[in-house]
Structure 1
Amino acid sequence: MNSKQRWMGGVVLLGGGVLLTALLLKGKEEIYQNELKTPELAAQVTQQKPGTDVEMVQLQALTVDVETEKRLLEEQRRAREKAVAEQEARAAEFLVMQQQAEAEAARKAAEEYAALNAHRAGAQQSSDNIPPELVEDEKVKQKRLADEKLLAQKKLDQQKAQQQRTDADKKAVEDKRKAEADKRTADLKAAEKRAAEKKAAEKKAAEEKARHDADVKRKAAEKNEAEQKALAEKKKAQAQHEAEAKKKAEAAKKAEAEKARDLLENGDKQWMVQVALAANEANADAVASKLRAKGYKVTKSPTSKGVRIMVGPSKNRDAADAARKKINDDASLNMKSAWVIEWVPLDKR
C-alpha cells in the first residue's frame, strides 16, 4: 500500500511538470500570435487623388500612420502583459496544487509507514521466532523505499531545473519582444524625423525663392541707383585723387621729420636681444656657450636679479628683431622668450 501511494505521488509530480510546460508553451504561442497581428505601416498610406498635392497627402498619411502605430503598439503591450500575468497566475495555482498533492502523498505514506511499524512491533512482541526471510524482505523494502524517495527527489530537481529553463526562455522571449518594440519605435521616430526634414526642406526652398525674388528687385534698384550716382562718383573720385596726392605729400614730409627725430634720439643707442636671465654665473656661461656655438655674439650683464644674457648689439631695431625671431624659431636652442631691448653701454651712460 505504501509503495502504491509513493508511485501515485511520483505520477502526480510528473503530470504536474508536463502541465506546467504545456501552459508556458501555450503562453509563448499566444505572445507570438499577438505580435503577428501588428499591421504594416506601409498599408495605411493614403493614395493620391487627381489634382491634389502629392507631398501634402503623403505627410498627412504618415502622421496618421505614426499615431495609429503607437496606439496599436500600446494595445499589444497591454495584451502581452495581461497574457503573461494570466500564465503566471495559472503557474502559481498549479504549483500550489502540486505542493498540496505532494504533502497529501507524504502524509499518507507517513501514516502507512507508522501503521507498518506498529504492526511490526506487535508481531515482535507476540513472537520472537521471525524467519530470516522476513527480515531480509524488510531490508529490501527499506532499500526500495529509499530508492523511491531518491527518485522522487530527482524528479523534483528535474522539475525545478525545467522551471528555471522555462523562466529563462520566457525572459529571452520578453527581451526579444522588447527589442522588436524598440526597433519599431525607432523606425517610427525615424519616419517622423524624415517627414519633419522634408517639410523643413520645402519651407527652406520657399524661403530661398522669396529671397531670390527680393534680391532681383534689390539689384534692379541698386543698378538704377548706381546709374544715378555714376556722375557723382566720378566727381568724388577726382576729389579723392587730389586729396590722396595732398596726403602723400604730407606723409613724405612727416617721414622726413620722423627720420630726423629718430636720428636725433637714437643716434647713440644700440639694440640688443635679451635671451635669458640666469640665476648664477654658471648657468649664464652654459647659455652663452650654446649661443656662441651657433655663431652669435653674446654679452653678459650682472643685475640685482641675476645675470642677463644678450645677443648683439644691432645698429637698428629691425635687425635686432630679426635676430630675436631667428633665436625663437631655433628649436635646438629652446629659447622662446627672447625680446628686444634698448642697450646703452656703461661707458656711454
Structure 2
Amino acid sequence: MSMNNKQRWMGGVVLLGGGVLLAALLLKGKEEIHQKQSQIAPVEQVQQRNQMAAGEAIQLQPLTVDVATEKRLLEEQKRSREKAVAEQEAKAADFLRMQQQAEADAARKAAEEYAAMNARRGATAQEGSDIPPELVQDEKTKAKLNAADQKKVEQQQTEQKKLEQQQVQQKQKAEAEKKLVEQKQKLDAEKKIAEQKRKEAEVEKKAEQEKRLQAQEEAKRKAEVQVEVEKKKAELDKKAAEDKKHKAQEDAKKKAEAEKARTLLENGDKQWMVQVALAANEANADALASKLRAKGYKVTRSQTSKGIRIMVGPSKDRDSADVARKKITSDVSLGLKSAWVMDWVPLDQR
C-alpha cells in the first residue's frame, strides 16, 4: 500500500513538473519572440530614420530600389517570425507529447498497481470475508488522488488552451502589424512616387521657363545684331557714297587739270628745255647748277617725286635746244654723259 501511494505521488509530481516545464518553455518562447520583434523594430526605425535623414541625398535614386529593399526586409522579418512561431509550436508539441507520454506511463503504472492490488485483495478475500479497514481507507485516498490528478490535468489543459489562444492572438497581432506595416510602406512608396513626380514636373517646368527665357534672349540678341549690322551697313553705304563722291571729284579735278595742260600744250607757247640730270638732294643739285652757271648756261630746277630735276634753257625751238644738249654733253669739264630735250611748261602756267 505504501508503494502504491508512492507511485501515485510520483505520477502526480511528474505531471505537475511537466506542466510547469511546458509553461516555462512557452513563456520563454514568448519572450524570445518579443525580443526578436523588439530587435527588428529598432532596426526598422533606424532604417526609416536613415532614409529620412538621407532623403535629400537620395532624391535622384530610383524609387524601385527603396521599394525592393523594403520588400526584402519585410520578407526577412516575415520569415524570422514564421520560423520563431514554428520553433515555438514544435517545442510546445514536443513538451505536450512528453506530457502525454508521462501521463500514459503514469496511468499504465497505476493500472498495473491497481490490478496487483485487486489480485492481492482477491487473495485476501478468499482468506476472510471482511475487507480490511486500511484497504477501504486506501481506496478513498486513491479516489482523492485521482480527482486531484484529474483536476491538475484539466488545469494544465486549460493553461495549454490559453497558451494556444495567446499564440493565435500573437500570430494574428503579428499579421495585423505586418499588414499595417505593408500599408504604411505602400502609402510611403506612393507618397515618394508622387513627390518624385511633383519634383520632376517642377524640373520640367523650370527647364521650360529657362528654355523660353533663352529663346527670348536669343531673339533679343539676334535683333540687336541685326540692328547693329544694318547700322554698320548704313555707315558703309554712306562711306562708300562719300568715297565715290570724293573719287568723282578727284577724277573731275584731274580731268580738268589734264584738259588744261593739254590746252596749254596745244595752244600756248612751248618752252624747250634740256634736262641734264636728276639730283638726289639739294647739295648735288647746287653743285651741278653752279658748274652750269659758270659756263654761262641759264639753269632751272624743278622738284619731282624722284629727286630734283636740273634743266638748261629754255629755248624757243627744239633745234636750238638740241644744239645746247650736244654742247653740254661734249664738255668734258661738266662730266655729263647724257641729256635730253623736252617741252616743258612751268607749274604756274599749267
What TM-score range do you get, normalising by the shorter chain? Answer: 0.5 to 0.7
CA contact (8 A) 1:10 1:152 kept: yes
Task: Find out whether 1:42 has 2:48 as its counterpart.
Answer: yes
CA contact (8 A) 1:9 1:105 kept: yes
Deviation at 1:57, TM superposition (A): 2.7
Cα distance in 1 for partners of 2:60, 2:147 equals 69
Cα distance in 2 for partners of 1:203, 1:69 equals 23
* Alignment match of 1:201 (pick from 198, 212, 226): 198
Deviation by residue 1:268-319 (Cα, 9 ceiling, x = unmatched): xxxxxxxxxxxxxxxxxxxxxxxxxxxxxxxxxxxxxxxxxxxxxxxxxxxx
CA contact (8 A) 1:45 1:61 kept: no
Give the aligned residue type for 2:136: K
Match of 2:24 in 1: 22
Alignment of 1:105-184 (within 5 A): 105-128=106-129, 130=130, 135-184=132-181
CA contact (8 A) 2:15 2:99 kept: yes
Match of 2:226 in 1: none
Give the aligned residue type for 1:190: L
Deviation at 1:175, TM superposition (A): 1.9
Distance change (3 Å), C-alpha of 1:119 and 1:75? same
Distance change (3 Å), C-alpha of 1:160 and 1:212? same
Task: Find out whether 1:76 has 2:68 as its counterpart.
Answer: no
* Alignment match of 1:10 (pick from 9, 12, 27): 12
Cα distance in 2 for partners of 1:127, 1:202 equals 105
Match of 1:192 in 2: 189
Distance change (3 Å), C-alpha of 1:127 and 1:37? closer
Distance change (3 Å), C-alpha of 1:203 and 1:43? closer
Match of 1:338 in 2: none
Cα distance in 2 for partners of 1:11, 1:23 equals 18
Distance change (3 Å), C-alpha of 1:207 and 1:160? same
CA contact (8 A) 1:45 1:58 kept: no
Deviation at 1:160, TM superposition (A): 0.9
Give the aligned residue type for 1:165: K
CA contact (8 A) 1:44 1:65 kept: no
Match of 1:282 in 2: none
Deviation at 1:158, TM superposition (A): 0.6
Alignment of 1:198-347 (within 5 A): 198-209=195-206
CA contact (8 A) 1:16 1:98 kept: yes
Q: TM-score, normalised by structure 2?
A: 0.53
CA contact (8 A) 2:63 2:193 kept: no
Cα distance in 2 for partners of 1:190, 1:81 equals 25
Cα distance in 2 for partners of 1:191, 1:63 equals 12
Secondary structure of the 1:58 match is coil
Larger Rg: 2
Deviation at 1:183, TM superposition (A): 2.1
CA contact (8 A) 2:19 2:156 kept: yes
Deviation at 1:162, TM superposition (A): 0.3
% of aligned pairs identical?
48
CA contact (8 A) 1:2 1:112 kept: yes
Match of 2:257 in 1: none
Return 5+ residue gaps in structure 1 as ranges.
Answer: 49-53, 222-349
Deviation at 1:212, TM superposition (A): 5.6
Deviation at 1:161, TM superposition (A): 0.6
Q: TM-score, normalised by structure 1?
A: 0.53
Deviation at 1:15, TM superposition (A): 1.0
Cα distance in 2 for partners of 1:46, 1:90 equals 41
Deviation by residue 1:199-229 (Cα, 9 ceiling, x = unmatched): 21123224444666788879xx9xxxxxxxx
Give the aligned residue type for 2:95: F
Return 5+ residue gaps in structure 2 as ranges.
Answer: 220-350
Alignment of 1:75-114 (within 5 A): 75-114=76-115
CA RMSD in angstroms comes to 3.0
CA contact (8 A) 2:22 2:92 kept: yes
Cα distance in 1 for partners of 2:199, 2:32 equals 45
